[in-house]
Each structure stands twice: as structure tokens, then as C-alpha cells.
Amino acid sequence: REAFVWSRIEHPNLHPLRGYHLQPEARLISPWCRHGNLLDYLRVNLLSIGWTSLRSCIYQASYGLEHLHSREPPIAHADIKPENVLINDLREAARSDFGLGRVLHDPDIPSGFTTSKTVKGTFKYQARELFDGGQTTCSSDVYAFGGLILTAR
């Protein structure tokens, strides 16, 4: 499922999928990001990173999310959190981990790839409507992105 969603997207602020192997067990292949994820990057560089650099990382992560949401059909990430934003060697942010991603409103895609009745993702970043039985949407991604910003500041 993750490879299916991930393989449909390409953007400078979405971490690229380079390939996958199914045997002997499923493996996804993507470039190494030596700075790790946004949360780790901020912990290590807390004293040296300036507001301009932090703001740039947040903007870059938002551009990746905007690209997912502006596709036709849109893709909801469904697990927005600082741990799913990777920092590359140029200190640029790219959204990653598309395991819970959903291609929304596409009748040509098998329903197992597009719908889920179970609330998944990271509890502290989830929109309230997901706890009341709602489906993951672009709006619930935006809510979670607000939580990411609050965590990063």
C-alpha cells in the first residue's frame, strides 16, 4: 500500500521512493537523510538553528503537503508529525512515510487502497473528527500540520 501511494507522487518536498523489493520481505528504498527527521534535527540543533531556518523547514514541509492535496485525485497523508518530515543533506525538509496515505475519491483504485474505517496515525496530531468516526481528509491533514508547527516552535 505504501509503495502504491508513494510511487504516484514526485515533488522536491516529498521524500522520493527509489525502488522496492518484495522478497524475502517487503522493503522500500529511499535516499538516506543524515540529519534524520525534523524532531531529531531540532533537538540536536536547538541552539544553532535560527528562526529563518526553522521557518524554511516548515514552509518546505507545507509545500509537500500542498502538492499531495492538489493532485487529482488528492492524497491525504494521514500521519502528519515531525517524525515524518526528513531533513536532507542540504537541510531541506521533505515529507515521508506514506504508509497510511489515502488516495481520495478515485474509483479506478481498489477500495483497500483508498478507504479505512479505523482511525490510525499519531494520536496527538489527529483532528477531532477522526475520533468521532470521521474519515481521513485533506482537512484532517491540515489540522495535524498545525500540531506539527506547534511542536516545532
CA 147/CA 76 separation, integer angstroms = 16
Q: SS3 for 34?
A: coil
Judge whether 79 counts as a catalytic residue.
yes
Residue 48 burial (C-beta neighbours within 10 Å; 0-12, 13-18, 19+): exposed
Q: SS3 for 58?
A: helix
Pairing assessment for the beta strands 93-95 and 75-76 based on DSSP bridges: unpaired
Choose the catalytic residue: 40, 79, 106, 108: 79
Nearest Cα neighbor of 97 from 37, 151, 26, 52 is 37
Active site residues: 79
